[in-house]
Amino acid sequence: MGSPEQLGYYSTAFGILILLIAVHEAFVTTPMTVFSQSDRTEERQKTLSGSMLITSLLLIGILVICGGVYCAWMTTAQIFSESATVVIIIMLLIAPLQLLREFSRRWLLANLEVRPSAILEFLTATVLVAALAVAVINAKMTATVVFCFIGGVNLLALVGCWTVYRHRFRFQPSDIKVTAGRNFRYGRWVAGENICSTIMMYQCIWLLTVYVSEEAAGVFFACFTVVLMANPFLLGVCSILAPRSAREFHEHGLKGLIVVLIQYIGLILVVLLGFSAVLWFFGESITNLFFGNQYKEFFNAHLNGKNLITPTLGLALPFLGVSFGLTCGLLAINRPQDSFYSSVVGLVAIVIAIFLFPEVNFQSTAVSFLIAVIATMTSRLCFLILACRKLMLQNESHAAA
């Protein structure tokens, strides 16, 4: 991003976009991932896909309207500056494309079309990186430009995806209402979890925007962005783990689920421990390399020239990765409420931790985020162990009967 202020605008709008994605994921893509594993007949899959797409479109409309109302209220209350408001409006305009592309990606993975999904993501990322490189070379890198590029790339991806797979969707009006109702009953817990998790992740940025400055929020988001370089790996693995764990539990029971969770969580833990170690020793250098001298100068002026934010945030990665894997397990055994309760624990933990510090600053928000991630992971692990024990006892009682 061209300046810390522009990155601050981008991070504020991006946090709201992630919140919209979280709600959409809860009521559409997560139920689709779970329910599509129970009936694999071709006709049923086509009908379910069509109903999920219509549900997605209806929800997207509601979310964009709610986002616009929220933006208007925050602007009227003078919490957002005019520049930030413009960026948020641009984000809301491209949000439907982003949400539909996310639906397409999750639909491909739910139907075990892993290779096409990977190819689509690779091509999308390549085009977006090329567009951003052009903006950097021409010194046109602003938050507005980035969101416009994101919208354009998503449009191209959607055209390509639906040109190939449109024949696999059948629209049956009588099924849409049933699907929407079932999605809501299942997704309300996932929605609560996703909203709490998103607020937990972006609360630090929003607090810095309000209590310190947009420049400070931009610098913090720069450090957070370095940590999120592990996100494609984590989301990619969990996108495969979610349908795989649901199918294993459906076909092979609790033992099959546990085996898959151990395999995937073990992989996540090994990779993210290595990445966390790299950030602990070289996080400051990597941040300076990606974001340039003006961010380094900010640390020189405000934090005695030492960037401890990136290494501190990096410590949260292994716990965050394990937490994601445990969530897949809880969803597979139909315990979304437990995942929600764990997210509430994390949100409460970060609020308490932040306000236990004398002031809101870089280090207090980073440490509070680490504490919240550890609390969330520990809670999910406890809930999963308790749920598995309950299922084992039920299976034993059925076998004895």
Could you write out the DSSP letters of every residue in 65-121?
Answer: HHHHHHHHHHHHTT-S-HHHHHHHHHHHHHHHHHHHHHHHHHHHHHTT-HHHHHHHH
d(CA 8, CA 208): 10
Does any domain span residue 207? no
Residue 337 lies in a domain: yes
pTM to 2 decimal places: 0.72
- Band (379; pLDDT cuts 50, 70, 90): very high
Same domain, 185 and 275: no
Within 10 angstroms of residue 53's Cβ, the number of other Cβ atoms is 20
What's the pLDDT score for residue 177? 82
Q: Please identify, among 192, 227, 246, the residue that sits at the C-terminal boundary of a domain.
A: 192
Between CA 327 and CA 229, with CA 128 as vertex, the angle to 5 degrees is: 40
Looking at the structure, do residues 146 and 245 belong to the same domain, yes or no? no
> Quick check: is 106 in a domain?
yes
Q: Does 226 lie in the same domain as 145?
A: no
| 118 and 239 housed in the same domain | no
CA-wise closest residue to 243 among 119, 108, 389, 102: 108
What is the reported pLDDT for 395? 75
At residue 362 the predicted structure's pLDDT band, cuts being 50, 70 and 90, is confident
Who has greater pLDDT, 110 or 364?
A: 364
Contact 150, 94 (CB under 8 A): yes
Per-residue pLDDT for 6 more than 70?
Answer: yes
Q: What is the pLDDT of residues 71-101, one digit of tens each?
A: 888 777 776 677 778 888 999 999 999 999 9
Domain count across the chain:
2
- pLDDT over 90 for what percent of the chain? 30
Tens-digit pLDDT profile for residues 168-201: 888 888 788 888 888 888 778 778 887 888 788 7
Residue 163 lies in a domain: yes
Residue 226, domain member (yes or no): yes
Mean pLDDT, the chain, integer: 85
Rounded to 5°, angle at Cα 41 from 36 and 45: 45
Residue 296 domain-assigned (yes or no): yes
Question: At which of 192, 226, 252 does a domain end?
Answer: 192
The answer to whether position 205 is within a domain reads no
- Residues belonging to the chain: 401
Residue 359 per-residue DSSP state? S
Dihedral pair phi/psi, residue 110, rounded to 5°: -65, -30
| Pair 61, 186 in one domain | yes
User: Under a CB-based contact definition with an 8 Å cutoff, are residues 27 and 59 in contact?
Assistant: yes
Q: Say yes or no: 225 and 303 in one domain.
A: yes
Per-residue pLDDT at 212? 80
Q: Does residue 5 register a pLDDT over 80?
A: no
Residue 341: the pLDDT is 92
Q: Which residues contact residue 27 at a Cβ distance below 8 angstroms, ignoring those fewer than 6 apart?
A: 55, 59, 183, 184, 187, 190, 191
- Whether residue 130 sits in one domain with residue 251: no
Q: Which of 2-6, 11-15, 18-22, 123-127 has the lowest mean pLDDT?
A: 2-6
Instruction: Say how far apart CA 42 and CA 6 lie, in whole Å.
Output: 48
pLDDT in the model for residue 39: 61
Contact between 120 and 64 (Cβ < 8 Å): no
The yes-or-no verdict on residue 22 having pLDDT over 60 is yes
Q: In this structure, are 335 and 216 located in the same domain?
A: yes
> Does residue 283 fall inside a structural domain?
yes
**301 plus 270 within the same structural domain:** yes
Contact 170, 49 (CB under 8 A): yes
Q: Let me know whether 118 and 217 are in one domain.
A: no
Distance CA 64, CA 138 (A): 32
The C-alpha atoms of residue 101 and residue 57 are separated, in whole angstroms, by 12
The pLDDT value recorded for residue 378 is: 96
Angle at 249 between CA 337 and CA 108, to 5 degrees: 85
pLDDT over threshold 80, residue 38? no
Are both 228 and 175 inside the same structural domain?
no
Range of the domain at 57: 1-192
Q: Are residues 170 and 217 in the same domain?
A: no
110 by Cβ neighbours in 10 Å (0-12 / 13-18 / 19+) ranks as: buried
Encode pLDDT of 138-161 as tens digits.
767 788 889 999 999 999 999 988
